[in-house]
Amino acid sequence: MYAGYTFYGENLHMKYIKKERISGIGQTEREFLSKLLRATKITISVSEAANILGLKQDQAAKILARYNKKGWLKRIQQGVYLPVPITSLTSDIVAEDPFVIAEKLFSPCYIGGTNAANYWDLTEQIFRTTTIMTQKMVRNRKSKIAGNEYLIHTLKPLYFFGLKTVWLNDIKIKISDPTRTIVDMLMFPSFCGGLNFIIEVLQNYYRSQYKDMDLLINYLETAKNGAAIKRFGFLVDIYFPNEKKVIDYCLKNLTQGYVKLSPSLDCSKLIRRWRLWVPKNWKRKFYDK
């Protein structure tokens, strides 16, 4: 393969099939592009391009749009682009760092749910979808960007606690710490992997070096989420009945009203002790424990 063509025959002599390919650019355009790539990390925005090239915003926008049309950049959001690898013959690319892309597009945000659980080795399951908690209002909760799938949830700033900073490609990424990951799953069970997955992660957390029930209680108090307390108390009551301090805390802090153990499941049976609606088989499991 060469310059966007596939050759057949010995010594590259002959017929070729033209691909959907990246177009050539002139010397000035090449210099501008090189300058942009040297000065940015992963993504290039219109505002960044304007600052780097010393141009007005509208001028920078036209240049990036031209690079996109010729296949040297890939538009992933209005005003935001990804460089196309020089080895690529087309502009169809999959970004290698979905966490970095998330930070660039949805900041302030953090990686949570299933991805955080995997990052902290609380599950061996691998997920294709990246779970993002952001302060931005997002129209589409499920998005596919540069070949990667994202599940996006909007949270108020007060919920941005219990986070760790990690570095990927020289970019700072926020991710929920192991204990905060548990709290998110209790608050948003359908969004964070579903009931069976949450139980797996909770059991692994309990056996891990990260287990800190006092911190978990502190996080629940900070979150002030009655549904999370009811779900947590119920699950601890079943799986870790010796955790009397945690169970007593949850019982003393039950809010009024009833919630479902998992909003996505048919929860037809009521556990009055925890003010919790559960699936039919879970009521049997609770009283047979």
> What are the residue ranges in the chain where pLDDT is below 50?
1-22, 87-94
Beta bridge partners of 260: 277
Q: Kindly report the CA angle at 140 between 113 and 164, in degrees rounded to 5?
A: 30
Report the phi/psi class of residue 102: left, alpha or beta, with left for phi > 0 and alpha for psi in -120 to 50: alpha
The structure's pTM equals: 0.74
For residue 6, give the H/E element and its range: strand 5-7
User: Which sequence spans correspond to the domains of the chain?
Assistant: 19-83, 94-206, 225-289
Tell me if the domain spanning 19-83 has CATH number 1.10.10.10: yes
- pLDDT for 86 equals 55
Q: Residue 82 and residue 95: Cα distance in Å, rounded?
A: 8
Predicted local confidence at residue 34, as pLDDT: 83
**82, 93 in Cβ contact below 8 A?**
yes
pLDDT of the residue at 185? 96
Q: For residue range 233-245, what is the model confidence (pLDDT) as tens digits?
A: 999 999 999 999 9
* Residue 169, Ramachandran bin (φ over 0: left; ψ between -120 and 50: alpha; else beta): left
Q: Do residues 226 and 183 touch, judged by C-beta distance below 8 A?
A: no
Strand runs labelled E in 22-62: 44-45
Burial class (CB in 10 A: 0-12, 13-18, 19+), 289: exposed
pLDDT at 287: 63
